[in-house]
Amino acid sequence: MKLKGASYMDIHKAGGGIGFTVRKTREASEEALLESFVGRLKLMARHGSTTVECKSGYGLDTETELKMLRVMEKAKALQALDISVTYCGAHSIPSGMNEREATDDVLNNQIPAVLAATAKGEVSVDNIDVFCEKGIFETGCTKEILEKGKSQGWQINFHAEELNYIGGVEMGVEVGATAVSHLEEISDAAISMMAEHKTKAVILPTTAWLLKLKPPPVRAMLDAGVVVALGTDFNPNAHCMSMLRIMNMACVEYRMTMEEALVAATLNSAASVGLAGKTGSIEPGKWADLVLMRVPSWEHCIYQMDASDAIAFVIKKGKVIYNSGK
């Protein structure tokens, strides 16, 4: 449908997109999800990532959201990358529900179940996300969910202004969001608010490109002093595991300088999940998370369209987790 010109919402309304993935995720066993997840994390390590944010959100019911969160928790012991876990039970409106019913399910059923599983040591959550969008979770219901998560100590890191402007960023800044992602339709006033409150802007070039959306105003954000981070947005719509490719796209599509792109993909991305004090830059006291590459200069990491084949070693907390020679 996408290749024939259908929009994101056209596909969504036809039961594709998130709806299709939800059905497959509900059907999959926990063991199958864990196997595929760990395999993808290892591929991300080969592409140079040492820390990832991973979301639930393809269950949309208590049982499957918990299944995804358990998979993330188990994966921490089965591979080397650090995982910042995001609960995203409000990723879409489940079939048969309206926005109010879906919101109440998240507030009264899903979140209490996540907290109970956390108390048992079965899962852990660092961040809360909502797909704040016209016709899905609009600003009022989004605010209720985000505030509930914040009250449990979860950082707010949510979707806003991807397809339509509905004032999601302004609401998010007001409730103390750490970061807001997508932002294709952000307003000038919201850019100023994000800069003033140091709310991080997580820019996801692959999704905007694949969905043929209006490019987010990244240059305006940077010029206003917004802290801009980059991410792959790896998901069924955007199969990209390479942050090197993302940096190239950010420079070409959004007129970021190579220095800006490098900081956005490292230190600022760490800041978007509250980890800038531990990783994202080479400093005394931080984790020794390093990528060694066979390139003439660091600029070639970005100048090449995807320099992943130039990665020689990936080091996580001082230990080699990928060696291209083996």
- For residue range 288-323, what is the model confidence (pLDDT) as tens digits? 999 999 999 999 999 999 999 999 999 999 999 999
Work out the burial of residue 96: count CB atoms within 10 Å of its CB; fewer than 13 is exposed, 13-18 middle, 19 or more buried: exposed
Work out the burial of residue 314: count CB atoms within 10 Å of its CB; fewer than 13 is exposed, 13-18 middle, 19 or more buried: buried
> What is the reported pLDDT for 326?
79
Strand pairing report for 311-316 and 319-323: antiparallel
147: phi then psi, degrees, rounded to nearest 5: -65, -35
> What is the reported pLDDT for 165?
98
Q: What is the mean pLDDT of the chain?
A: 96
Reply yes or no on whether the pLDDT at 33 is more than 70: yes
Taking residues 194-205, report their average pLDDT: 98
User: pLDDT confidence of 250, banded at 50, 70, 90?
Assistant: very high
> What is the reported pLDDT for 1?
64
129: phi then psi, degrees, rounded to nearest 5: -130, 150
Report the percent of the chain where pLDDT is more than 70: 96
- Sign, CA torsion 254/255/260/265: positive
Q: Taking Cα atoms as reference points, which of 273, 276, 238, 279 lies closest to residue 157?
A: 273
CB distance 195 to 226 below 8 Å: yes
Structure tokens at 27: 């059907």
In DSSP terms, which residues pair with 66 in a beta bridge? none
> What is the reported pLDDT for 9?
66
Reply yes or no on whether the pLDDT at 279 is more than 80: yes
Q: Which residues contact 11 (CB under 8 A, 6 or more apart)?
A: 1, 2, 17
User: pLDDT confidence of 16, banded at 50, 70, 90?
Assistant: low
